[in-house]
């Protein structure tokens, strides 16, 4: 992993970052952090990489589910302050759809429309979904639209991607520690030959 030019952005999202540390890091360049052997710079680099690693894993493993036709939601409880960043990422990938990420106590909402992002920060995930449900009766011709067959879509996708010879749970555990699985709402599959969408979604 290499220190990016915008390393201050990632550093600012670290749970232990404060204004003084950010101001100190602002006097450095990415190359300084990359090459320095000083303890302070090594600590900053470690913090930046910790955030970048969690961002990468959450983008890959957070699973979104439909809530009507206007909303996609997923369980999310990261260690670092990456909530808005990840929520915005999914909003840009699903323009015009409201993205809600959260857990039992907090939730983050993003909507991308015409290249602009609108954000909100709410209480628990369930509460935000209920609030959106009453505020956004997504209908066509006055009738409620049913959710798509997500389970069926998932099975088609999984069948097209699954290759038993490529299964390597040891490598998966190294790249996706248990704490990150819990942050993304995943349940690790143990020696299962077949997988369904429910294997990846936390109740």
Query: Exposure of 110 by Cβ count < 10 A (0-12 exposed, 13-18 middle, 19+ buried)?
Result: buried
Helices (H) and strands (E) in the chain, counts: 9, 7
> Which of these three, 22, 43, 60, is where a domain ends?
60
Pair (168, 141) in one structural domain: no
Q: What are phi and psi of 117, to 5 degrees?
A: -110, 130
3-state SS of 139-190 is EECCEECCCCCHHHHHHHHHHHHCCHHHCCHHHHHHHCCHHHHHHCCCCCCC
Say if 14 falls within a structural domain.
yes
User: Do the domain assignments include residue 73?
Assistant: yes
What token pair was written down for 189?
A: 């599959």
79 and 37 housed in the same domain: no
41 pLDDT higher than 50: yes
**Residue 71 DSSP class:** E
Helix or strand (DSSP H, E) at 159: helix 150-161
- Tracing tokens 């190359």 back to the chain, one arrives at 31
Q: Is 2 inside a domain boundary?
A: no
pLDDT tens across 52-99, in order? 999 999 998 898 999 888 899 999 999 999 999 999 999 999 999 999
Domain boundary among 127, 147, 167: 147
Same domain, 107 and 119: yes
What's the predicted TM-score (pTM) here? 0.70
Task: Give the pLDDT confidence of 112-165 residue by residue, as tens digits.
Answer: 998 899 999 988 999 999 888 877 755 444 334 445 555 555 555 555 555 555
Which pLDDT band, with edges at 50, 70 and 90, does 203 fall under?
very low
Q: Which residues span the domain enclosing 81?
A: 62-147
Split into its structural domains, the chain has a count of 3
Write out pLDDT tens, residues 42-61.
999 999 999 999 999 999 88
Output the pLDDT for position 158: 53
| Residue 89 and residue 27 share a domain | no
């Amino acid at each position: 992993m290499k220190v990016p030019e915008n390393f201050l952005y990632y550093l600012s999202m670290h749970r232990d970052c404060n204004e003084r540390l950010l101001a100190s890091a602002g006097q450095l360049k990415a190359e300084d952090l990359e090459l320095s052997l000083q303890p302070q710079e090594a600590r900053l680099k470690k913090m930046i990489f910790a955030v970048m690693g969690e961002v990468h894993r959450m983008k890959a493993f957070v699973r979104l589910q439909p809530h009507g036709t206007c909303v996609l939601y997923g369980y999310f409880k990261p260690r670092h302050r990456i909530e808005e960043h990840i929520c915005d990422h999914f909003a840009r990938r699903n323009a015009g759809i409201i993205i809600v990420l959260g857990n039992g106590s907090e939730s983050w909402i993003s909507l991308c429309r015409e290249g602009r992002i609108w954000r909100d920060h709410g209480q628990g995930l369930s509460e935000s979904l209920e609030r959106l449900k009453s505020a956004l009766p997504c209908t066509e011709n006055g009738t409620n639209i049913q959710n798509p067959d997500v389970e069926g879509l998932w099975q088609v996708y999984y069948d097209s991607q699954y290759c038993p010879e490529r299964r390597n749970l040891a490598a998966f555990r190294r790249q996706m520690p248990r704490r990150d699985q819990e942050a993304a709402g995943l349940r690790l599959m143990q020696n299962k030959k077949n997988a369904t969408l429910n294997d990846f979604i936390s109740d």
